[in-house]
Amino acid sequence: MTTIYDVLRRPIITEKSNYQQKALGQYVFEVAEDATKPMIKAAVETFFDVTVEKVRVMNMPAKRTRRWRNRRLGIRRRGYKKAIVTLAPGETIDIFEGVK
């Protein structure tokens, strides 16, 4: 069973997620495989002290890639579950706390 402290694994920082943060007020997190929308909402509201309007969840599939030294050696990256959390207007999350 997943507790509230195990729900959020890490924020996903990409160009698209940066755009979503600034323009739409949406934040992207990798979450536990058995996390549900109410669990994700409760975790974000508890940890970051914000109001969550909407949570969207998607399962990202595993991908096959190659090693950079040997093109023939294929590896398989694991799949994961990610959540896009929409906050109330005017609220933000400081993902990089303490970074100058």
Q: What is the pLDDT of residue 66?
A: 76
CATH superfamily of 4-87: RRM (RNA recognition motif) domain (3.30.70.330)
Q: State the pLDDT at residue 67.
A: 72
Domain range summary for the chain, segments of one domain joined by +: 4-87
Q: Residue 35 and residue 10: Cα distance in Å, rounded? A: 14
Cα–Cα dist 79/26, whole Å:
22
Q: Is 11 exposed, middle or buried (0-12, 13-18, 19+ CB in 10 A)?
A: middle
Helix (H, G, I), strand (E, B) or coil at 75: strand
The radius of gyration of the chain from alpha carbons, rounded to an integer in Å, stands at 16
> Which residues lie across from 64 on neighbouring strands?
76
pLDDT digits (tens), the chain, 100 positions: 778 899 999 999 999 999 999 999 999 999 999 999 999 999 999 999 999 999 999 999 998 887 777 767 778 889 999 999 999 999 999 887 765 5
